[in-house]
Amino acid sequence: MKKLLAVLACAVFLAGCSPAPKRYNAVYTDVFDTVTEFTAYCSSQEEFDGMSERVHGELLRLHEIFDIYNEYPGIVNACSLNGAGGAETEVPDDLIELINMGIDWHKKTGGQLNIALGSVLSLWHECRENGTLPDENELLKRAGHCDIEKIAVTENSVTLTDPGMSLDFGAIAKGYAVGRAAEILKENGLEDFAISCGGNVVTSGKKPYGKWEIGIENPDGGLITTVSVSDEAVVTSGDYQRFVMIDGKRYHHIIDPKTLYPAEKWRSVTVICPDSALADALSTSLFCLDLEDGMKLLEDCKAEAMWVSQDGEVTKTPGFEDHEK
């Protein structure tokens, strides 16, 4: 008995001596055309730097695969696929997975989330850059090349059977990528961290003094609320970050496939859910759906949401409010 007590006392003493984890932070500006912040509690700068290298490496890898604007040496990516002129193209597993997810969400949202909307989205992208509105005929012409049925997927290849079609993963890529990076950190033994990639936040564990506190922007500036989360993702889609003003009207980057113009139902939608990829897909989908259809979509997902309407009215699911306390 004496011996056991001695061993226990020693164990307690050793545990008491290990340094308390400290908060470390890193910022990357070269992935997904946005600012990414990685925060973690680690026992040393060295441990944090190793973890940071892993997160950054994974985000860079997925950024290159999902990039629709540039090709990179040694990989076939989304840009190569869009430029393949209808030829069957062998692509990495992550791209197959993202495309299958996109096809699934097209079904779930009655076509409101459509990764095959690339030709229409690129026209809007050019117009936002030039401060002009798209030509109506050109919009309609491009809308004829957005049929998701024209994507043929096998285990390792994709064929866009309409060569005029192009895919765009802006609605779902960041959530997927941040979720993957978080998995890698957990596999490597890191417990308490948060990654924020341009409005897509994923959290794990909890800070020593409580949960992670995530501020949610008010579309008109400042914060609208703060939520406490642990092991959950928080994702916002809004009209206030990528837009152009023409004749006093705001034209932003989330396009309603039915009207071919920016979706006007909401100013922002925020989703909280354990799965980061799901949270990203949901936030853009809810932004394009009315409240009733959005609520129906939420029934099948383990997720909470907050909608901000055009006149600033806020609607929340009861579970969302629980995170604010």
By CB under 6 A, name the binding residues for ligand ADP. 113-115, 117, 121, 168, 170-171, 174, 198-199, 237, 241-242, 253-255, 257, 280, 283-284, 288
Six-digit token string for 304: 């909470």
**Binds 92: which of ligand ADP, Mg ion, none (CB < 5-8 Å by kind):** none
Is the CB of 196 or the CB of 283 nearer to Mg ion? 283
Six-digit token string for 241: 């970050």
239 part of the interface to Mg ion, by CB under 5 A? no
**Binds 254: which of Mg ion, ligand ADP, none (CB < 5-8 Å by kind):** ligand ADP
**Binds 168: which of ligand ADP, Mg ion, none (CB < 5-8 Å by kind):** ligand ADP
Q: From the list 82, 119, 196, 284, which residue makes contact with Mg ion (rule: CB under 5 A)?
A: 284
**Binds 114: which of ligand ADP, Mg ion, none (CB < 5-8 Å by kind):** ligand ADP
Closest separation between CB of residue 173 and ligand ADP, Å?
Answer: 8
Closest separation between CB of residue 281 and ligand ADP, Å?
Answer: 8
Is the CB of 51 or the CB of 235 nearer to ligand ADP? 235
263 part of the interface to Mg ion, by CB under 5 A? no
280 part of the interface to Mg ion, by CB under 5 A? yes
Closest separation between CB of residue 283 and Mg ion, Å?
Answer: 5
167 to 196: interface string for Mg ion, x by CB under 5 A:
----x-------------------------
**Mapped to the 3 state alphabet, what secondary structure does the chain carry?**
CHHHHHHHHHHHHHHHHCCCCEEEEEEEEEECCEEEEEEEEECCHHHHHHHHHHHHHHHHHHHHHHCCCCCCCCCCCHHHHHCCCCCCEECCHHHHHHHHHHHHHHHHCCCCCCCCCHHHHHHHHHHHHHCCCCCHHHHHHHHCCCCHHHEEECCCEEEECCCCCCCCCCCCHHHHHHHHHHHHHHHCCCCCEEEEECCEEEEECCECCECEEEEEECCCCCEEEEEEECCCEEEEEECCCCEEEECCEEEECCEECCCCEECCCEEEEEEEECCHHHHHHHHHHHHHCCHHHHHHHHHCCCCEEEEEECCCCEEECHHHHHHHC
**Binds 39: which of Mg ion, ligand ADP, none (CB < 5-8 Å by kind):** none
Closest separation between CB of residue 261 and ligand ADP, Å?
Answer: 11
User: Where on the chain is the footprint of Mg ion (CB under 5 A)?
Assistant: 171, 280, 283-284
